[in-house]
Amino acid sequence: MSAVDKEEFAGRVALVTAGAGRGIGQAVCRRLAAGGATVVVTDRHPGRTEDVAAAIAEDHPQARVLGLTLDVGERAAIDRVVDTTVERFGSIDILVNNAAVNVVAPIFDYDPDTWDWVVKVNLTGPWYLCRRIMPLMRDHGGGNVVNIGSYAPDVGGQGIEAPYAATKGALNVLTRSCAHEGGPHGIRVNCVSMGMVQGTKFVDDHPELREQPGVLGVLGDLPHARDIAEAVAYLASERARFVTGEILNVAAGSYMRN
């Protein structure tokens, strides 16, 4: 991997949801901070959020880092975090919708309340964050939204994760819709899609899924959270200045989108 440009995101403010876990969110926060962004680490676990934000700030002294507690399923919490971020830093230039939940179960047994929770976190939360932040980007001259998706909707959730797959399919549509609306205002909106990723809680909790045929892809291994973070950094950067409305698959060739 090439050396990181420590000034690539200088002067830009990035808000990342579910940024304090040990997987994709934290990897994204660290990558953006390494590129000089001001990073707002949000997560629903207060202690973990504070600790991770402090650790990132220590590792990347050129970046400003703030940790804020956020449950993306709660609209009032989103309002509070967006208002605090703008009051503190003046703008939000990059939004990474990473927070998601996936409760694996067959439809015969699935709890309807769990369905509602998955939809609220995986789809309604990202929509409302876009609804709050895209007008700020418009008024500030542009910005970038990167949604964290999955190829689960392309394979029907493989019969084990229908709610998750349905919300991620809808997130693809939201990505393209927001790209249409944001484009005239200098706002690019893209999505990074993937299958299983090393270093995430879901993969650690379900090691049996790694043994499924084809899951390692034609490259023979799973991507790591830092590989997803690098894709996010690319889409949020000027290197991708003419890329919008796209679903970028980072899955080692385990699924090749038509």
- 256 found inside a domain: no
Annotation says 164 is catalytic: yes
Closest CA to 73 of 127, 23, 34: 127
pLDDT score for 13:
98
Write out residues in the chain with pLDDT < 70, as ranges.
Answer: 1-2, 206, 209-211, 213-214, 258
Q: Is residue 18 part of a domain?
A: yes
Q: Is residue 173 part of a domain?
A: yes
Domain carrying residue 144: 13-248
- What's the domain count of the chain? 1
> Residue 198: its pLDDT value, please?
74
pLDDT score for 1: 52
The answer to whether 224 touches 195, Cβ cutoff 8 Å, is no
Residue 8 covered by a domain:
no
pLDDT of residue 211: 66
Q: Does residue 258 fall inside a structural domain?
A: no
Order of strands across the sheet with 13-16? 65-69, 38-43, 13-16, 94-97, 143-148, 187-193, 247-249
Polymer length of the chain: 258
Closest CA to 237 of 40, 8, 1, 11: 8
User: Is residue 232 included in any domain, yes or no?
Assistant: yes
CATH for 101: 3.40.50.720
User: What are the start-end ranges of the H helices in the chain?
Assistant: 24-34, 46-59, 75-89, 112-119, 125-140, 162-182, 201-205, 225-236
Reported pTM:
0.94
Could you give the CA distance from residue 210 to residue 204 in angstroms, rounded to a whole number? 10
For residue 133, is it within any domain?
A: yes
Q: Which residue in 128, 151, 164, 255 is the catalytic one? A: 164
Of the candidates 236, 242, 241, 247, the residue with the CA atom closest to the CA atom of residue 191: 247
**Is 163 inside a domain boundary?**
yes
